[in-house]
Structure 1
């Protein structure tokens, strides 16, 4: 069963903040996610950050790991 977290602008903003704190572009984060087996393109990442695309639990876990963020940091509204 594929679980998704509803798209939300604040969650996207939290991911974008974490990415920028790491000094990564969307392209660089996308590449790092792909290396660990999470196939997210730069465009998909942009949609997640904009709050217009749902995020799967697999994607959330991968983003959390690469950005070294907690679930609370990503999901806080």
Structure 2
């Protein structure tokens, strides 16, 4: 069984999709993450969405929480 790579999962694109569906800007998402104890800036959100920045398990957990999606939704293959 072949495992998918993070690029195939495209977590950043999913973050962007869910962020836009919630009507949040990158600044607003970063602010909400910061209130949850996750020190991510707007620049870092942009880097995550474009695949230029890796994310930790903690950050992914907080992203899912703030975006109101199941943790696994960020890992699902398209």
| TM-score of the pair, normalised by structure 1 | 0.85
Pair member with larger Rg? 2
Q: Which residue of 2 aligns with 1:3?
A: none
Give the aligned length: 72
Structure 2: gaps spanning 5 or more residues:
none
How far does residue 7 in structure 1 lie from its aligned partner after superposition?
5.8
Provide the aligned C-alpha RMSD in A. Answer: 1.6
In the alignment, the residues of structure 1 paired with residue 29 and residue 43 of structure 2 have an alpha-carbon distance, to the nearest angstrom, of 11
Where is the strand percentage greater, Structure 1 or Structure 2? Answer: 1
Which consecutive segments of 4 or more residues in structure 1 shift more than 4 A?
none
Alpha-carbon distance in structure 1 between the residues aligned to 2:50 and 2:60: 15
Structure 1 unaligned blocks of 5 or more = 1-5
Question: Separation in 2 of the partners of 1:8 and 1:41?
Answer: 22
